[in-house]
Amino acid sequence: MRSALDPDLRNGNSSHLPMVLAAMRALGGTAEQLDRFETHYAPLTQPLRAPASAFDPARHLGSAAHFTNWLQHYEHELAGTPWQSVLQRDLPRLMEGLASSAFHGMIRLAYGVRFDQRDETAAGLAMLSAFRVELPLPDGGRSTGAAEGLRSLAFDESLAGIVWHEPPIMRRLREVFRHPTFVAAVGPLRIEKGADRAWFSLLTSAARLHRATGEFAALHLVTGLHAMRVLWPWLGIREDALQRFWLAFCAVFVAIGRPWPFEWLDVGPLLPWRELRERACASDDDHLAKLVFSCEDLAAGMPDDPMLAATLQACATLEARRR
């Protein structure tokens, strides 16, 4: 069972193995392709660490050292309670830390829910519980579209002289979250009123940001928003979850240098979805299958917005051509 593997790889990055295999299966990958990828990825994985002897869910929220305890806790919960009820009860609080592990807790949970895998649902809930980076709600009263808010940050001179020191994306995001100048700059910005409108605004800007930069962190915004849509029925107050995602989005934007205006990278002719699926399933890359799956699934749900659907296809094409 892959939940018996540590969520961190030997190199310190988050493990994508369960999510990649699920995405490849959804994209039509063969058993041989899945086995090949797992064999390729296996040297990076490590066994699950032993549970800590003392564990109290009320005290150890946000304790990475207690991941195994959290996993056992949710495996027990899901064995005796319908997973829908567990999500209804716990997810609104856990989404206060939705940026945990560069959104991987939320993404892994969405894969467990989407593909009805109880062990992966438990693992996603455990990641959100253990690797928690709690995000406040912006305190401003003015609502903004995502593009307008990013433009405001791009031209905010108070952020111009700051040098960010942490290179890995999650450590860099933590650095940005803590910086008082960032907190002051983003505090007045609230995403658009209405959950559906706000989510669409965020997705449009996330796809455009990735399309313009090819940034690894922007890729996670797209797959993170896809995960959020899967988890939509259990978010609690959706506007609060979206405001916290917006704060994380702003931190990503600042962390990668506040690129503005968005100028498209040359990706060449868009690859058809069939070829994108084939390339994803043949690749050893641990992000391509996830991105292609998210982009195609999101684009299929937007028949009335061909421009956004094409932007998502361009994101997938960009990654497929360079990996």
- Return the pLDDT at 218: 95
Q: 3-state DSSP call for residue 143?
A: strand
Amino acid at site 45:
T
Residue 251, exposed/middle/buried by CB under 10 A (0-12, 13-18, 19+)? buried
- Return the pLDDT at 190: 86
Q: 3-state DSSP call for residue 30?
A: coil
1 pLDDT tier (thresholds 50, 70, 90): low
- Return the pLDDT at 172: 84
- Return the pLDDT at 236: 94
- Return the pLDDT at 162: 87
- Return the pLDDT at 188: 83
Q: Is pLDDT of 199 > 80?
A: yes
Q: What is the pLDDT of residues 44-76, one digit of tens each?
A: 999 999 998 899 999 999 999 999 999 999 999
And the tokens for 260? 């503005």
Q: What is the pLDDT of residues 180-196, one digit of tens each?
A: 999 889 888 888 888 99
Q: Report whether 124 contacts 110 (CB < 8 A).
A: yes
Residue 291, exposed/middle/buried by CB under 10 A (0-12, 13-18, 19+)? buried
Minimum mean pLDDT among 109-123, 147-161, 168-182: which range?
168-182
- Return the pLDDT at 164: 81
- Return the pLDDT at 102: 82
Q: What is the pLDDT of residues 262-277, one digit of tens each?
A: 999 999 999 999 999 9
- Return the pLDDT at 2: 66
Question: What's the Cα-to-Cα distance from 94 to each of 78, 124, 154, 236, rounded to whole Å?
Answer: 16, 10, 30, 10
Cα 158 off chain centre by: 28
Q: Is pLDDT of 285 > 90?
A: yes
Nearest Cα residue to 199 out of 236, 235, 234, 228: 228
Q: Is pLDDT of 316 > 90?
A: yes
CA-CA distance, 217 to 213, in Å (whole number)? 10
Q: Report whether 120 contacts 18 (CB < 8 A).
A: yes
CA-CA distance, 230 to 111, in Å (whole number)? 8
Question: What's the Cα-to-Cα distance from 205 to each of 28, 103, 264, 296, rounded to whole Å?
Answer: 29, 17, 13, 17
How many Å is the maximal CA-CA distance in the chain?
A: 56
DSSP H stretches of helix in 27-161? 31-41, 67-80, 83-94, 104-114, 118-130, 146-154
Mean of pLDDT values over 78-90: 96
Q: What is the pLDDT of residues 124-160, one digit of tens each?
A: 999 999 999 888 887 766 788 899 999 999 999 999 9
CA-CA distance, 97 to 106, in Å (whole number)? 9
DSSP one-letter code for 131 = S
Report the mean per-residue pLDDT for the chain: 92
Q: 3-state DSSP call for residue 190?
A: strand
- Return the pLDDT at 133: 85
Please give the backbone phi and psi of residue 161, each rounded to the nearest 5 degrees, phi first: -95, 5
| Residue 257 region by backbone torsions, left for phi larger than 0, else alpha for psi between -120 and 50, else beta | left
CA-CA distance, 232 to 52, in Å (whole number)? 33
Mean of pLDDT values over 99-120: 93
Share of the chain above pLDDT 90, in %: 77
Q: What is the pLDDT of residues 204-262, one digit of tens each?
A: 999 999 999 999 999 999 999 999 999 999 999 999 999 999 999 999 999 999 999 99
Residue 227, exposed/middle/buried by CB under 10 A (0-12, 13-18, 19+)? buried
